[in-house]
Amino acid sequence: SSGITDEKGVEPNHEPVQTLKGHGKRVGGLLWHPSADNVLASWSYDNTVKLWNAESSQVITEMEGFTNQITDFDFTMDGSQMATTCKDKKLRIFDTHTGSVAMEGPGHNNMKVSRVRMLKNGTILTAGFSSMSSRCLRLYDPRNLSGILKEEAVDNANGSLFPYYDPDLNLLFLAGKGDANIKFYELDNGGIFYLNQYMSGDAQRGLGMMPKRGLDSGINEIARAYKLNVAKKLVNVVPLKVPRQSKAFADDLYPDTAGYQPAINAQEFAEGKNAQPKLVSFLELQSANATSKGFTATEAKVNGEAGAEIAALKKELAALKTEVGDVRSSLKEKTGEVEELRKENEELKGKLKSCQEEIAELQKNGIEASQVGSD
């Protein structure tokens, strides 16, 4: 809005740098790839997930197969896979390069919204509701989604849960829609351990978290929440701190974290490459030189038509592959039927030959009998 500037006194640009077109309905969620430059994921109410090259506006991968509204998604640390939650009560893991389902299993047995986070060790965490409609957290093994590794009850409130995961400290900050508190959990050795909670008197409609670069290590601030307070029509700033006597820099609270330098570019990801995020020290992240370069949209493709056309062609190709597979199956069935008819025809020929031989034998016997009678 007017009058708001950045630290250099520059007013923000309200014109879009890029426009991505391709979804048939409104978009419900966005997420940047953890290590590839300018790769953006989006899920839509058209029940699809798309991965975009945000610089060129081209669709890299499309994920389908959802039978109801998607509710959340998250990348693995290297971006090779993506977990999704859906109102069809299914938990799915997709290959981000092919768009195919790598694993599928039962999720929360409830039509309410559930959300998902991919943990640093590969385990999947979901936040949703149990079959008894109580709120809970769950851990799943990505290699076998048929069972639950761990379930932790949260409470019996009705609002959907917003999980915020810190992979550096293995901490989970959990807020609920309509709640007035934020709970903290430690995720360690396959367990979910409640630590503490922030309490207030004002209900929250939503929550946002400050990126690591903006935290104040001088007061041991490990997270900062921005709480949407609808009743008072404002945003509450909630610093989450670890109380300590020492004023020295706490290395254990600020381990190396993902920096701004991408590990791979969008083209390398499109070609099938994966990479873990490049880590830097917390102090380096906060330095003046640790800035994101951003990108300049490719002028010829700013409207996203090329990406939409590629997505349409990929969809058409997938449909053709399915049709070819159906034709092959049909031909295989027909070939089997023809073989059965051929065998049946051979059997009938054999029976006919036997009948002809029997008739000939009977006729021969009849002629011989008549000759004996005349004699």
For residue range 170-226, what is the model confidence (pLDDT) as tens digits? 999 999 999 999 999 999 999 999 999 999 989 999 999 999 999 999 999 999 999
Instruction: Determine the pLDDT at residue 5.
Output: 58
Q: Does residue 60 contact residue 53 with C-beta atoms inside 8 Å? A: yes
What are residue 257's phi and psi, to 5 degrees? -140, 170
Q: What is the pLDDT of residues 146-159, one digit of tens each?
A: 999 999 999 999 99
Instruction: Determine the pLDDT at residue 371.
Output: 58
- What are the residues whose beta carbons fall under 8 Å from the beta carbon of 356, sequence distance 6 or more? none
Answer yes or no: is pLDDT of 128 > 60.
yes
What are residue 125's phi and psi, to 5 degrees? -110, 135
Share of the chain above pLDDT 90, in %: 66
Share of the chain above pLDDT 70, in %: 86
DSSP 3-state assignment of 198? Answer: strand
93, with CB counted inside 10 A (0-12, 13-18, 19+), is: buried
254, with CB counted inside 10 A (0-12, 13-18, 19+), is: buried
Residue 304 pLDDT level (bands cut at 50, 70, 90): very low
Distance CA 164, CA 226 (A): 12
Q: Is the dihedral of CA 343, 344, 345, 346 positive or negative?
A: positive
Answer yes or no: is pLDDT of 142 > 70.
yes
Q: Any idea which of 84-93, 225-234, 356-365 has the lowest mean pLDDT?
A: 356-365
92, with CB counted inside 10 A (0-12, 13-18, 19+), is: buried
Q: Does residue 107 contact residue 126 with C-beta atoms inside 8 Å? A: yes
Q: Enter the tokens of residue 2.
A: 């007017």
Instruction: Determine the pLDDT at residue 301.
Output: 43
Q: What is the pLDDT of residues 360-369, one digit of tens each?
A: 888 777 766 5
Q: Any idea which of 27-41, 51-65, 117-131, 290-304 has the lowest mean pLDDT?
A: 290-304
Mean pLDDT of 157-166: 95
Instruction: Determine the pLDDT at residue 375.
Output: 55
- What are the residues whose beta carbons fall under 8 Å from the beta carbon of 32, sequence distance 6 or more? 39, 40, 41
User: How many degrees, rounded to 5, is the angle at CA 274 between CA 270 and CA 275?
Assistant: 135
pTM of the predicted model, to two decimals?
0.75
Distance CA 248, CA 361 (A): 115
Q: What is the pLDDT of residues 37-85, one digit of tens each?
A: 999 999 999 999 999 999 999 999 999 999 999 999 999 999 999 999 9
Regarding predicted confidence, which is higher, 131 or 90? 90
217, with CB counted inside 10 A (0-12, 13-18, 19+), is: middle
> Which among 223, 157, 218 is positioned nearest to 195, based on CA atoms?
223
Q: What is the pLDDT of residues 316-353, one digit of tens each?
A: 776 776 777 677 777 777 777 788 888 888 888 888 88
Q: Does residue 40 contact residue 20 with C-beta atoms inside 8 Å? A: yes
Distance CA 299, CA 136 (A): 47
Instruction: Determine the pLDDT at residue 177.
Output: 93
Instruction: Determine the pLDDT at residue 302.
Output: 40
Q: Is the dihedral of CA 241, 245, 247, 252 positive or negative?
A: negative
Regarding predicted confidence, which is higher, 114 or 371? 114
Instruction: Print burial letters for 143-176: b (CB count within 10 Å at least 16), e (below 16).
Output: eebeebeeebebeeeebbbbbbbbbbbebbbbbb
